[in-house]
Amino acid sequence: MMKMPVQKRRRGIYLLPNLFTIGALFAGFFAIIAAIRGNFENAAIALFIAMLMDSLDGRVARLTNTMTAFGAELDSLSDMVSFGVAPALFAYNYALSGLGKFGWLVAFIYMVAVSLRLARFNTQIGKVDKHYFQGLACTAGAGFVTSLLWIAVDLEIPRNMATNLVLAFFMIFTALLMVSNIRYRSFKDADFRNHVSFVIILLMVLIIVLISVAPAEALGLMFAIYAISGPVATIWGLRKKKLARATIHKPINEILKHHGTEQN
């Protein structure tokens, strides 16, 4: 009996998901050029377009079953440019350059934090709960920093020593959140294919309206809430564990105290 030849699956590059990744890379590179030229509003818009493209490439790959190691590596390199180099350069050109050496050190620290966050994420694929991120995702970190810059540009906030130091503080704060062990919801388990409540639909419509009316402020508020949600949830979880331990130990202490009273 002749054996049918086994057809090996051809190894190649899938076009559709990688187009979104390259689109995100293009938007990040455009943001760098715009920031160098002083077109800060265009730089902010380009970075948010990069975030949108980055959120779509993985979903498209999963939906079309075209996930590859090549795509994962390309996505990581694209993230480094779009959410590491571009926001750091944007912040430096807009405000941090006024702080001298401290300014470019802050931008460098932020960029290093993004690279460390990406390296840790790549080594933990398949080993951690996919429903949570360990540390603030670099996309969300870039969204928070970019929204702050966009708000400053939109409101024409004067660039002086005080505003530069405030931006430097938030960049260092964001960098620490990215390399921390604080857990953040990834929302990868969100399923919009089934029925959703009217409250969710109304909330999504409200978000779209707010973004269309005041994009910088609305996006800034959203990313700020997400950035602080991790520390707040961590503190709340530690408090609940402490209360649970106290509740368990209290009856034991009462029993021991009662037993000691009987012996006396």
Enclosing domain of residue 21: 15-188
- In single-letter form, the type of residue at position 139 comes to T
For residue 152 the two structure tokens come to: 């400053």
Within a domain: residue 113?
yes
Q: Which of 141, 149, 140 is nearest to 42 (CA)?
A: 149
User: What total number of domains does the chain contain?
Assistant: 1
Structure tokens belonging to residue 139: 């996309």
Residue 204 lies in a domain: no
- Asked whether residue 67 is domain-assigned, the answer is yes
What does the pLDDT look like over 115-143, one tens digit per residue?
Answer: 999 999 888 776 666 778 888 999 999 99
pLDDT digits (tens, 9 = 90+) for 46-90: 999 999 999 888 778 777 777 778 888 889 999 999 999 999 999
pTM here is 0.82
Q: With beta carbons less than 8 A apart as the criterion, state whether 146 and 86 touch.
A: no
Q: What is the dihedral of CA 174, 168, 75, 72, to 10 degrees?
A: -40
The CATH number given to whatever domain includes residue 110 is 1.20.120.1760
Nearest to 95 by CA among 109, 112, 107, 111: 107
Determine which helix (DSSP H) or strand (DSSP E) holds 86, and give its type and residue range.
helix 86-94
